[in-house]
Amino acid sequence: MFTALVMCLICMMSVAFATEMPDTSVVPDSYWDAEQAAAGYLAEGVDTYGAMLSKLAGEGFTAEEAAYGAVNCTDWTAVATGQAKGYLTVMAFSREGLIDLLCYDGFTTAMATAAVDGCGADWNEQAVRAAEEYRVCGINDDARLCEALAADGFTIDEALYAIENRQPLSKESGFSY
């Protein structure tokens, strides 16, 4: 619970930081220092915007310096898009659910939304996959399945599409894609 709260605060802070960017025509040395530090952390494997802000703040950079360094060291939307595509290879997500997950991972809402919108997912097909996953868990009733899909962030149209287009259960495995 504490971790989720911290991640939500980081996501909210990062949105606030992103709106307080300095005039780039006269950038103080401390901002360039933050950008260089961010590039180093990126090479070490820091893979989310929120984690980068935390790392830079831990080094003593101000919120504005950290935001400048983090924003300018890489294309975070592209990083988030890659993570979104990776998540979709593992399990089904609704658009809303994937945005929430990327925000939890430390991306801003704007970054997560752009990443999800650019990841090329077919949300109807994601709903079908999710419906099939629920059926394996024993949810076969259409009304319960629709409720479960809606709770995961799928739209009513996506849930109805999933119910109409899900694959029949296989007798051997109990599940078929």
| 19 confidence band (pLDDT: 50, 70, 90) | very low
| 140 confidence band (pLDDT: 50, 70, 90) | confident
Q: Are 162 and 141 in contact (CB under 8 A)?
A: no
DSSP 8-state symbol, 74:
S
DSSP string, 99-165: HHHHHHTT--HHHHHHHHHTS---HHHHHHHHHHHHHHTT---HHHHHHHHHHTT--HHHHHHHHHH
Asked whether the CA dihedral 150, 50, 45, 77 is positive or negative, the reply is positive
Instruction: Identify the helix (H) or strand (E) that includes residue 63.
Output: helix 63-73
Report the pLDDT value the prediction gives residue 37, as an integer from 0 to 100: 95
Q: What is the pTM of this model?
A: 0.76
Report the pLDDT value the prediction gives residue 20, as an integer from 0 to 100: 55
